[in-house]
């Protein structure tokens, strides 16, 4: 949410002030590391300004890509961005393909990450392809709903297939073995690329991949509760007490002025509809959701902000009686996050959010992929992290709130029925948990809420799972460091041994 606030301020105030430089840093910190990103419906994106700047020696390259792979009569093409690193390549070695996701492709991944460690040891040529409609890969003149029909995982996989085929021919890699890498949504794409195009990709590392599409995903918050419990059993209980107290206060409009002050809102709190209420409550809960999802991940190389805020930090605040009641501690965390992201106040206006997400220009929320990813959730995946389970600490943003956003942003035809049909089609097409393929490894972390939709147990010897206790989203993809848990070190080594074995097959 802090990312959306920064985007709004830059959009409204222009680019002529010093302050915009700071806000731009926040935005870019919120733009996803495209190779490992999962954006929630409320659009929380990440990447760093520093990583973009420091990676300037990684040249942008452009591939002439087809607009519609499934209509032979449509000959339109557009330019898709990609990056290469041939530092470690040895003749005859494999080609590693990092798959971009729902945010700009971050060239920092061409210099850092576990996949490059594997590349050095295996003599691999490395390439990263940005996902259509994200970053600087613009297939259409704008993001109108009509144009977004060309945005789908199927088209993205066809992009990968065409790119891989042409690049292999141009660079003499037709006989080399290709390995797909990706984390989060791109992790799913990596698995599906191997599944749907087995003649083009030899193996895949599908990290933190939510391969099961689902409309209602309350399990996300259930895992958040479980992850908070790893610090102390009382932590999620205190969060629940704070959330419940706030919810009760919100029933009385007389409390609104004090609530606005407590949570440093940018304007007077106005709860006129159930959507206003749900948006406010989800925004506050998002602090915990985001911190848990990326708890202790080694993301500094991206220039990511707030990596020092962990589950321990949040739970220590929630357990500190000197900070007042649980409600007061909840507010303290919001103000801590505002300070961390260089923001003076919190904007919780739902109408403003819808207005931004309805902007079809290649600017504003489109900079980080907000409108695009919401479209994909409405037309393919769902993934709506609702409070519909009693086994989680939050309240107030049920499934109808998430579904209503589809209609409010894209029109009445995007509704509960259409989303349910889309999710069913996605699972029918890809197989959900029942993937029938080979040479795909599925790493997941126990702290990461997305593991609830991933493969956490071996499907077969050739479709192994690597479940890493105590780690969060995409942990195995990040650069190694001394303080890594032994099980994380083992997981990286095990994945490498699998690649060694599979590349000999």
**Could you give the residue numbers annotated as active site?**
184, 448, 473
Q: How far apart are the first and last CA of the chain?
A: 46
Task: Give the whole-angstrom CA distance, residue 214 versus residue 276.
Answer: 25
Whole-number Cα distances in Å, 352 to 347, 348, 356, 453: 9, 8, 6, 31
347's CB contacts (< 8 A; 6+ apart) are 4, 5, 8, 265, 266, 267
The rounded distance, in Å, linking the Cα atoms of 400 and 392 is 18
Residue that the structure tokens 């890509």 belong to: 65
For the chain, count helices (H), then strands (E). Answer: 17, 11
Which residue carries 């609530």 as its tokens?
259
Sequence-separated (6 or more) residues with CB below 8 Å from residue 247: 281, 395, 396
Q: CA triplet 157, 163, 432: central angle to 5 degrees?
A: 15
Pairing, β 178-184 against β 203-207: parallel
Element (H, E) at 272: none
The burial class, CB within 10 Å (0-12 / 13-18 / 19+), for 350 is buried
CB 148 within 8 A of CB 103: no
Cβ–Cβ under 8 Å, residues 423 and 448? no
What burial letters (b/e) apply to 355-392, b meaning 16+ CB within 10 Å? Answer: ebbebbeeebbbbbbbbbbbbbbbbbbbbbbbbeeeeb
User: CA neighbours within 13 Å on the CB side: how many for 137?
Assistant: 34
Secondary structure of 182-238 as H, E, C letters: EEEHHHHHHHHHHHHCCCCCCEEEEECCCCCCEEECCHHHHHHHHHHHCCCCHHHHH
Angstrom distance (rounded) from CA 4 to CA 346 = 10
C-alpha gyration radius of the chain: 22
């Amino acid at each position: 949410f802090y990312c959306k606030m920064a985007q709004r301020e830059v959009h409204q105030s222009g680019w002529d002030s010093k302050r915009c430089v700071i806000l731009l840093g926040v935005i870019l910190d919120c733009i996803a590391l495209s190779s490992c990103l999962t954006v929630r419906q409320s659009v929380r994106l990440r990447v760093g300004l520093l990583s973009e700047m420091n990676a300037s020696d990684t040249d942008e390259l452009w591939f002439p890509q087809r607009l519609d792979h499934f209509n032979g009569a449509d000959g339109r093409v557009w330019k898709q961005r990609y990056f290469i690193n041939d530092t470690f390549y040895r003749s005859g070695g494999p080609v590693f393909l990092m798959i971009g996701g729902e945010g700009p492709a971050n060239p920092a991944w061409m210099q850092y990450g576990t996949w490059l460690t594997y590349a050095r040891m295996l003599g691999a040529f490395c390439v990263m392809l940005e996902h259509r409609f994200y970053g600087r890969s613009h297939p259409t003149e704008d993001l109108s709903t009509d144009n977004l029909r060309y945005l789908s995982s199927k088209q993205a996989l066809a992009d990968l297939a065409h790119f891989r085929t042409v690049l292999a021919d141009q660079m003499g890699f037709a006989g080399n073995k290709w390995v797909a890498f990706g984390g989060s949504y791109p992790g799913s794409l990596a698995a599906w690329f191997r599944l749907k195009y087995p003649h083009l990709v030899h193996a895949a590392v599908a990290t933190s991949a939510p391969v099961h599409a689902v409309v209602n995903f309350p399990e996300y918050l259930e895992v958040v509760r479980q992850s908070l419990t790893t610090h102390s059993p009382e932590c999620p209980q205190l969060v629940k007490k704070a959330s419940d107290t706030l919810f009760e206060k919100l029933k009385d409009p007389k409390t609104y002025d004090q609530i606005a002050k407590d949570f440093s809102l940018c304007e007077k709190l106005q709860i006129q509809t159930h959507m206003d209420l749900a948006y406010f409550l989800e925004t506050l809960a998002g602090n915990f959701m985001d911190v848990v999802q990326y708890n202790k991940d080694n993301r500094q190389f991206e220039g990511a902000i707030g990596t020092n805020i962990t589950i321990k930090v949040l739970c220590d605040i929630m357990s500190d009686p000197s900070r007042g009641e649980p409600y007061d501690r909840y507010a303290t965390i919001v103000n801590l996050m505002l300070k961390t992201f260089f923001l003076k106040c919190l904007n919780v206006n739902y109408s403003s959010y819808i207005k931004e997400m309805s902007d079809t220009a290649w600017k504003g929320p489109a900079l980080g992929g907000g409108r695009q990813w919401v479209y994909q959730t409405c037309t393919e995946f769902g993934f709506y992290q609702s409070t519909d389970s009693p086994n989680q600490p939050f309240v107030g943003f049920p499934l109808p709130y998430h579904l209503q956003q589809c209609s409010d942003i894209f029109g009445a035809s995007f509704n509960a029925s259409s989303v349910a049909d889309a999710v069913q089609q996605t699972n029918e097409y890809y197989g959900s948990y029942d993937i029938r393929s080979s040479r795909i490894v599925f790493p997941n972390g126990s702290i990461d809420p997305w593991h609830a939709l991933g493969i956490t147990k071996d499907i077969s010897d050739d479709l192994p799972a690597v479940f890493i206790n105590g780690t969060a989203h995409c942990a195995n993809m990040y650069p190694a460091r001394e303080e890594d848990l032994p099980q994380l070190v083992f997981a990286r080594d095990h994945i490498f041994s699998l690649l060694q074995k599979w590349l000999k097959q």
